[in-house]
A = this chain, B = another copy of it.
Amino acid sequence: MSQMQSVEKQLRQMILGLEIGPGEKLTERWIESRFGASRTPVRAALLRLETEGLVGRDGRGWTVSPINLAELEQIAVYRDAVEVAALRLTCSLADRSAVDVIEAMLESCDNDTPREEWHRVGMDFHIELARLSGNEFLFRAVRDAMTRLSRARWLEVRDEAALARAWAEHRAILAATRLGDADEAARLLSVHIVGSRDRLVTSLANDRRGLRARGFAVVAA
């Protein structure tokens, strides 16, 4: 494999996994030595991650994007628009049997499942659901939005009650979709997105001090 994609993937994983803290400064030369690549692939990776909103320019120099409460609010609105549109499309399809695959995905998580897996499946639920619509643009929009939310969502995964509720809401959305009840499915999804945002923003606002203590930059709304 070309090293370029490798650097990009590894760096993205470190950022999403909070191994590099939000707000941390990045130097091309550090990345270079850390992954044993040279600067060209490093720059390519940074340019790509910039369009994903994971890193940004800080004058001269690169910074891991801080967690931004205002951004979380705006993403929720954006998600509502694109995810609901995708879901309505899916409900209008003749063959919606693919929802079963997503259902099975949800079922694969139980008490023994590690946090990381819940985190991943929780995102993939929305991404795969959007993929069913068959609209590439809606799909990419959802995938990109979930990527941006990914780091903040680590908080949600620490809360058992929040997880249980999210999973129940996911199942309800799938049930309505299976029946082709677009209005109900859309309503449930909207409620889920808004609720998810509220829980996230609340716990982020509470944990803000703790996060800052760990060196994570959190920008207020």
Contacts and interface: CB of A to CB of B under 8 A. Distances in A.
Interface in A54-95: 71, 74-75, 77-78, 80-82, 84-86, 89
Contacts of A74: 135-137
Interface string A121-157: 0000000000000011110010001000000000000
Contact of A40 (B43, B85, B135, B136): B43
Interface stretch (A29-37, A44-52, A168-176): A44-52
Nearest to A84: B81
Interface residues of A, number: 24
Contact of A82 (B47, B48, B82, B89): B82
A13 B169 CA distance: 46
Contact of A138 (B71, B81, B86, B138): B81
Contact of A43 (B44, B78, B138, B145): B44
Contacts of A51: 48, 51
B141 A78 contact: yes
Contact of A81 (B85, B136, B145): B85
A212 B164 CA distance: 56
A43 B145 CA distance: 26
Nearest to A39: B40
Given A78-B135, A81-B82, 6 more contacts: A40-B40, A44-B47, A47-B47, A74-B135, A78-B138, A80-B85
